[in-house]
Structure 1
Amino acid sequence: MKQPVEISTELTRQEAELMLAELRSRYSQVLNDVWYADPFRLIPEGLCHGSILIAMPVMAAQKRLMGALTHSLRAVK
């Protein structure tokens, strides 16, 4: 069983928005780079993203962090 790590931080709205933009940019770049790479090229399109997240845990963590930042930014509007 995986041991979860909980992270708590306080950011200004500007810091959170900038971090989210940076994470989205990096995530998109890596996803575009690996989408057609040999290990994932023959995986059906509907399964490819999930396969990449399983193979690249850092991307899975980035995705969760982007979700948390998005949720937090919406909550403080």
Structure 2
Amino acid sequence: MVARRYFFLAMCVDNEVQGRGFGTKLMEYVKDYLVSNNYYTISLLTERTFPAATFYLNQGFQESLDTRLYNYVLKNK
């Protein structure tokens, strides 16, 4: 059986309502939904310096030490 991975592209909670549990409730819903649909892993990207990084760590996510993000700039601004 192949482990199914869900790649979370974006999750946003308006700045004005952050800290009220909306993000936590949304993440709990997503986790429950994915477990019930036989997913084993959720992966996502965020900057280490963004507040979201702390949020994800508090949600039980672990920083991957074996994965790196590579960017290629197609043209300068």
Q: Give the TM-score of the pair, scaled to structure 1.
A: 0.34
